[in-house]
Amino acid sequence: MTIYKAPLDDLRFALFDVLGAEHTLTSLQGGEAHSRDLLDAVLEEAGRLSEQLLAPTNAPADAEGCRFDKAAHTVTTPKGFKEAFKAFAEGGWTGLTNPEAYGGQALPGVLGTATTEIFQSGNLAWSLYPLLSEGATHAMEQHGEEWQRERFMKPIVAGRWTGTMCLTEPQAGSDLGLLKTRAEPGAADAGGHPTYRISGTKIFISAGEHDLAENIVHLVLARLPDAPEGSRGISMFIVPKFKVGEDGSLGARNTVAAGAIEHKMGIHACSTCVMNFDGAEGYLIGKPHKGLAAMFTMMNAARLSVGVQGLALAERALQNSLNYARERLQSRALSGPKFPDKPADNLLVQPDVRRMLLTQRAFVEGSRALVLYTALQTDIEHRAIDEAARQKAGELVAFLIPIAKGMTTELAQECTKEALQIYGGHGYIAENGMEQFVRDARIITLYEGTTGIQAADLLGRKILQLQGVGARHFLQEIGAFCQQHGADASLRGLIGPLAAAAKEWSELTASLAKRVQANPEELGAAASDYLYYSGYVTLAYLWARSVAAAEAGSQSAAFKQAKRDTAAFYFARILPRTLVHKAAIEAGVATLPAID
């Protein structure tokens, strides 16, 4: 059994001290009520719910997994999932960020990001059911017609139904332009809305079938008969498991069903389904052939949430490995016994164990600042009063998403590995719960766009195609920060290296852009290393900001010292990883010869 305590102090620190979220949020449209005390109360209660209702189910649900009934095509989720989902829905959490007009709470996105971390730490596999639903509601919010929102979105917001995202097919994963599922125009339904018959097979559909809700609304990418080839010929459809009457009542079973569930490495308690669509009745959502673009407008939110999953797993793994290191007595300190009355010292006396703990802490708290920073920019993008501020925030978000998703999920691999390592052989034993974190973490660098795809998005689209507009805003912000704090004694040792790294980052970007212009293959050769490089500099900035915030904050002396120590560790021992990535970027495509 592993423990979990919601890290409310650090969440508050990141939100209010580092990011100044209260000031920002209360100045946005519709944000008058979003004061600190309200946000605090929501965080508290999310913590209580996760600690009491979700965290205890994490290990047993992993062992139990989901069960598939072949004859009935139904999935049974593990014990406790239904009850937790019911409490979650009744508490209003399913509609945290949705507009009030559809039954939501209209709370800020950044608060949603913070509570999502808390729920995902409690039980990642469970949290995917509401997460997919949230994605579906945002798609309908942005692209649906009013009657579609009334009929299909409201029940999801209320937590009576759930949603899915059906993109992937066997031959179409990263490259959705290859997808084959067809949509044929059908008759109008009783209310006069045109219907379509959807046919094809989708794979790897999270929450595709389960027993948590009365109905499931699938958002499906498919091709209309006259569709152009490739990604320009994809449309999005609403396909409910049970057809829904004009009055919202559940009707006949639609011809979409789960054909199987996957047996997989982690997130055992989330049903990953093969979904067969056999002339299933659906409705077009958004414009014909614009489905992929529509899907992409909400991709940012989905990718950010997956980044948060990395943080969530790493946080819980850190809490447990720190406890273990404190309690496990093994070996003596190199300079002589620290606990002479005990048979051995605890693991904390070992510098190498502290290295593993500080690595985790630097990545967990750094990632937390990064995802919350990005989420707050999303709120500004959507609700700032000033048009220019909205545009700038949107550009920053576009730039930061591949870093927040790609970097945070990859760092979570390292964090969960180190956490397991601290347990020694006991980390490898299922009963202790650490290997589950390693297994569960493995999916997050794959779905919602693999790390390779994030890297290509960052370098190819955000830097080269969009001419680095978001990167420029971000580098300017770092420059301004360095200038403002250049004379602070407390930030000595941080500002110099940060300013140097920022300068090197922009030079490296400029020279790389030139090389890609000469040979497009250079993009693919540099992308991953460029993602890591960018990620490490981004975290350096956020760590420096964290120290500045801690110096000015009202936290305990121990809290502040931990921030200083972790930042110093990060700058001395982690930031230099940029040297390796820079070398790899400069080595170019010539060092990646053809393989056959």
Partner 1 sequence: MKILVGYKRVVDYNVRIQVKPDGTGVVTDGVKLSANPFDDIALEEALRLREKGVAEEVVVVGIGPADLTAHLRNGLAMGANRAIHVVAADAVQPLTAARVFLKLVEKEQPGLVILGKQAIDDDANQTGQMLAALWDRPQATFASKVDIAGGKATVTREVDAGLEVIEAELPAVITTDLRLNEPRFIKLPDIMKAKSKPIDTIEFGSLGVEAHDHLKTTHYAAPAKRSKGVMVKDAAELVAALKQKGLL
Instruction: List residues near partner 1 by CB under 8 A.
Output: 5, 8-9, 33, 37-38, 40-42, 44-45, 48-49, 53, 87, 90-93, 96, 105, 107, 555-556, 558-559
- Binding test (CB under 6 A) with ligand FAD, winner from 99, 279, 452, 479: 452
With CB under 5 to 8 Å by kind, the binding choice for 352 among ligand FAD, partner 1, none is ligand FAD
> Are residues 145 and 79 in contact, defined by beta-carbon separation less than 8 angstroms?
no
Instruction: Please select the residue that binds ligand FAD; options are 85, 126, 152, 204, rule is CB under 6 A.
Output: 204
In angstroms, give the least distance from the CB of 112 to ligand FAD: 19
Q: Following CA atoms 303, 307, 313, 315 in sequence, which dihedral angle do they give, to the nearest 10 degrees?
A: -150
- Which two tokens mark 337? 């016994």
d(CA 56, CA 60): 8
Q: Indicate the residue among 213 and 502 with the shorter CB distance to ligand FAD.
A: 213
Binding partner of 331, given ligand FAD, partner 1, none, CB within 5-8 angstroms per partner class: ligand FAD
Question: Taking contact as CB under 6 A, which single stretch among the options 15-23, 59-67, 350-358, 400-408 is the one that binds ligand FAD?
Answer: 350-358
The CA distance from 45 to 244, in Å, is 34
442 near ligand FAD, judged by CB under 6 A: no
Give the contacts of 264 (CB within 8 A, at least 6 positions apart). 272, 443
5 binds, among ligand FAD, partner 1, none (CB under 5 to 8 A by kind): partner 1
Q: Which does 44 bind (CB under 5 to 8 A by kind): partner 1, ligand FAD, none?
A: partner 1
d(CA 189, CA 194) in angstroms, rounded, equals: 6
Cα first-last separation, the chain: 47
Alpha-carbon span 400 to 385, nearest angstrom: 22
Under the binding rule (CB under 6 A), the answer on residue 506 touching ligand FAD is no
Q: Which is nearer to partner 1, 37 or 387 (CB)?
A: 37
The C-alpha R_g of the chain, in whole angstroms, comes to 24
Interface residues for ligand FAD in 256-275 (CB under 6 A)? Answer: 264, 272
- Crossing angle of helices 351-383 and 299-327, rounded to 10°: 150
Q: Quote the least distance from Cβ 103 to ligand FAD, whole Å.
A: 24
Tell me how many degrees the CA angle 335-341-342 measures, rounded to the nearest 5.
Answer: 85
CA distance 584 to 529: 7
| Residue 173 interacts with, from ligand FAD, partner 1, none (CB under 5-8 Å by kind) | ligand FAD
Which residues have a Cβ under 8 Å from the Cβ of 139 and sit 6 or more positions away?
Answer: 165, 219, 236, 285, 294, 295, 298
CA distance linking residue 80 with residue 88, whole number of Å: 12
Per CB under 6 A, 353 contacts ligand FAD: yes
Q: Which is nearer to ligand FAD, 339 or 428 (CB)?
A: 428
Q: What is the closest distance, in whole angstroms, from the C-beta atom of residue 448 to ligand FAD in the complex? A: 6
Q: Residue 36: is it exposed, middle or buried by C-beta count within 10 angstroms (0-12/13-18/19+)?
A: middle
Candidates 343, 425, 593, 596; binder of ligand FAD (CB under 6 A) is 425
Binding of ligand FAD by 456 (CB under 6 A): yes
Of 140 and 393, CB closest to ligand FAD? 140
Which listed option, ligand FAD, partner 1, none, makes contact with residue 38 (CB within 5 to 8 Å by class)? partner 1
How many of the chain's residues bind ligand FAD (CB under 6 A)? 31
- Separation in Å, CA 500 to CA 2, 478, 506, 513, 548: 41, 11, 10, 20, 18
Question: Catalytic site residue 141?
Answer: no
Which of 117, 418, 435, 448 is catalytic? The answer is 448
Q: How far apart are CA 40 and CA 115, in angstroms?
A: 11
Q: Rule CB under 6 A: which residues touch ligand FAD?
A: 165-168, 173-174, 204-206, 264, 272, 328, 330-331, 347, 350, 352-353, 421-422, 424-426, 428, 443, 446-447, 450, 452-453, 456
- The catalytic residue positions are 448
